[in-house]
Amino acid sequence: MKLEMIELEHENNQNLASRGSRLKLSQSDIVLLEDYDQGLQSFQIQEVREDGNGLFYIVVSDDYPSHFLNLYTGVHTSRLEPSWQDMKLWYQVQRQTKVLKFFKEQGISSKHLPEIIATGRIVHSGLCEKQYSKGRCDNTWCGTPMLVMCPAGEPVSSIVAHNGPFSAEETVRCCRDCLAALRSARIANIMHGDICPENILCVHDYQDSRKQSLFVTVSWGRAVLEDKDSPSLNLHFSSSHALQHGKLCPSSDVESLVYLIYFISGGAMPHQYSIESALKWRQKCWSKRIFQQILGEVSPLLKAFTDYVDNLCGTPYKVDYDVWLKKLNRVVDSSVEKGKMVEKVLRLKDVAESSGTSGCGNSL
Ligand SMILES: [Zn+2]
């Protein structure tokens, strides 16, 4: 990768400067980042993406040759406006960095959780006239915080939008992977607080396409670490407790997980206009056992899990992650075994067919 600095909006565009959320990088730009611990690092933009949380970038780096990474750009604190969009960026970059660092300090690591590759501030082209290390000069990009994470993947929301509902096997695996991420976080006493299809990435192993994709729970910026933290409020995916009280109860994340797997299985999600209508919808679906009905068609285990969550909702009781992970693992592993059997049979068939052809050739 050729290292060259990007020419970023050098002219003083006041409008742009005051709206940090509009800063945009383009494909093949090279971004130089000053990481607080690791010094300068460079990343090249491969793809510009937009999800419910705003713009983000798929990048590559010479230091991580076979990986695609996610890069998020934030807003310098002095440029933050209390607008909804700016606050989203702050949660996505600064707050998420704090939470992921906390995971690391606590020794929590899991293939279902994202990992920080680099975090720091962008180095802009031209002369930087900032007065102190965390300050900024007049350059629009000066001091913009950035977070680079691995792995990169496709949000579940966009997969459903393009390909429709998930298969039963994928739905169970998604549930298992999300629950594994939530359980790891719980060890550090952290709740996610924003489980929704935008925040679950489906990650493929590009080096081994036969390997199954993996679901990784991202966007930990709204995580609840202490009582004063408030979760994100999502009319479709937040728990009833979060919508009612603006706080999480111990089962809030798994309640959101039920809504998530219901959604990816093709369950209907009517438009919600207000917290009241969202609460009414939840109440109606739970009392008529609609979640259990739809998820029961996917798997008896998901139906049982939904019943378990139904009994736990709003109570102070802890979620028994281990028991449900064990059950889900058993179902996922048996379907992997079944997949392997099918593959084996197909391979045997291939061998038989090709040897048949060569046999024919020999006889000529
Ligand atoms: Zn500067």
Quick check: is 164 in a domain? Answer: yes
CA–centroid distance, 9 to ligand 1, in Å, is 12
CA of 138 to the centre of ligand 1 (A): 6
Q: What are phi and psi of 85, to 5 degrees?
A: -65, -45
Shared-domain flag, residues 166 and 306: yes
Q: How far is the CA of 141 from the centre of ligand 1 (A)?
A: 7
| One domain for residues 252 and 109 | no
124 C-alpha to center of ligand 1: Å? 7
Residue 351 lies in a domain: no
The answer as to whether 163 is a domain residue is yes
Please indicate, yes or no, whether residues 159 and 139 belong to a single structural domain of this protein: no
3-state SS record for the chain: CCCCCCCCCCCCCHHHHHCHHHCCCCCCCEEEEEECCCEEEEEEEEEEEEECCEEEEEEECCCCCCCCEEEEECCCHHHCCCCHHHHHHHHHHHHHHHHHHHHHHCCCCCCCCCEEEEEEEECCCCCCCCCCCCCCCCCCCCCCEEEEEECCCEEHHHHHHHHCCCCHHHHHHHHHHHHHHHHHHHHCCCECCCCCHHHEEEECCCCCCCCCCEEEECCHHHCECCCCCCCCCCCCCCCHHHHHHCCCCCCHHHHHHHHHHHHHCCCCCCCCCCHHHHHHHHHHHHHCCHHHHHHHHHCHHHHHHHHHHHHHCCCCCCCCHHHHHHHHHHHHHHHHHHHHHHHHHHHHHHHHHHHHHHHHHHHC
Cα–Cα distance, 69 to 115 (Å, whole number): 10
- The answer on 143 and 159 residing in a single domain is no
Q: State the distance from the centre of ligand 1 to the C-alpha of 72, rounded, in angstroms.
A: 19
**pLDDT, tens digit (0-9, with 9 covering 90-100), for 10-31:** 333 333 333 444 578 899 999 9
User: CA 135, 149, 192, 90: dihedral to nearest 10 degrees?
Assistant: 20
Ligand 1 centre distance from Cα of residue 60 (Å) = 24
What does each of the 364 residues of the chain score in pLDDT, given as a tens digit? 333 444 444 333 333 333 444 578 899 999 999 988 888 999 999 999 887 767 889 999 999 888 899 999 988 777 766 677 778 888 999 999 999 999 999 999 999 999 999 999 999 888 888 888 778 888 888 889 999 999 999 999 999 999 999 999 999 999 999 999 999 999 999 999 999 999 999 998 766 666 788 999 999 999 999 989 999 999 999 999 999 999 999 999 999 999 999 999 999 999 999 999 999 999 999 999 999 999 999 999 999 999 999 999 988 899 999 999 999 999 998 877 776 666 666 666 666 665 544 433 333 3
Residue 297 Cα to ligand 1 middle (Å): 57
Rounded distance from Cα 329 to ligand 1 centre (Å): 51
Measured in degrees and rounded to the nearest 5, phi and psi for residue 330 equal -60, -45
Strands 30-35 and 154-155: unpaired
- Same domain? For 146 and 166 the reply is no
* Pairing mode of beta strands 69-73, 30-35: unpaired
pLDDT for 237-273, tens place per residue? 999 999 999 999 999 999 999 999 999 999 999 999 9
CA of 343 to the centre of ligand 1 (A): 57
Cα dihedral 134/136/140/146 (nearest 10): 0
Alpha carbon distances (Å) from 117 to 28, 150, 217: 19, 7, 16
Q: Is residue 81 part of a domain?
A: yes
Distance 122 CA to ligand 1 centre (A): 9
Q: How far is the CA of 131 from the centre of ligand 1 (A)?
A: 9
219 alpha carbon – ligand 1 mean position (Å): 28
Q: How far is the CA of 276 from the centre of ligand 1 (A)?
A: 47
Centroid of ligand 1 to alpha carbon of 128 (angstroms): 4
Last residue of a domain, one of 115, 150, 185: 150
201 and 268 fall within a common domain: yes
Measure 143 CA to ligand 1 centroid, in angstroms.
Answer: 7
Task: Give me ligand 1 centre to Cα 114, in Å.
Answer: 30
Query: In terms of domains, do 179 and 53 share one?
Result: no
Residue 186 maps to which CATH number? Answer: 1.10.510.10
Report how far ligand 1's centroid is from the alpha carbon of 145 (Å).
Answer: 12
Is residue 359 assigned to a domain?
Answer: no
Distance from the CA of 148 to the center of ligand 1, in angstroms?
A: 20
Q: Is 355 inside a domain boundary?
A: no
Same-domain pairing of 145 and 159: no
Tally of domains in the chain: 2
Q: Which amino acid, residue 356?
A: G
Last residue of a domain, one of 125, 150, 175: 150
- Sheet with strand 214-217: strands edge to edge: 154-155, 200-203, 214-217
Domain assignment present for residue 344? The answer is: no
Are residue 118 and residue 212 in the same domain, yes or no? no
Please tell me the distance between residue 31's alpha carbon and the centre of ligand 1 in angstroms: 14
Which CATH number goes with the domain that contains 120?
3.30.200
- Whole-number pLDDT of residue 14: 37
Claim to verify: residue 122 and residue 235 sit in the same structural domain: no
Alpha-carbon distances of 269 from 81, 92, 124, 257, 280, rounded to whole Å? 32, 26, 44, 14, 13
Distances in Å between the Cα of 334 and the Cα atoms of 111, 221, 321 are 21, 35, 20
Instruction: Provide CB contacts within 8 A for 156, sequence distance 6+.
Output: 174, 197, 198, 200, 201, 202, 215, 260, 264
Going from the Cα of 22 to the center of ligand 1, the distance in angstroms, rounded, reads 18
Q: How far is the CA of 27 from the centre of ligand 1 (A)?
A: 23
Q: Contact at 8 Å (CB) between 320 and 338?
A: no
17 CA from centroid of ligand 1 (Å): 13
Domain that holds residue 207: 154-338
Q: Is residue 236 part of a domain?
A: yes
CA of 49 to the centre of ligand 1 (A): 26
Per-residue pLDDT at 21: 42
Q: Verify that 227 and 176 share a domain, yes or no.
A: yes
On whether both 169 and 261 belong to a single domain, the answer is: yes
Ligand 1 centroid–CA 113 distance in Å is 33
User: Of 100, 129, 150, which residue sits at a domain end?
Assistant: 150
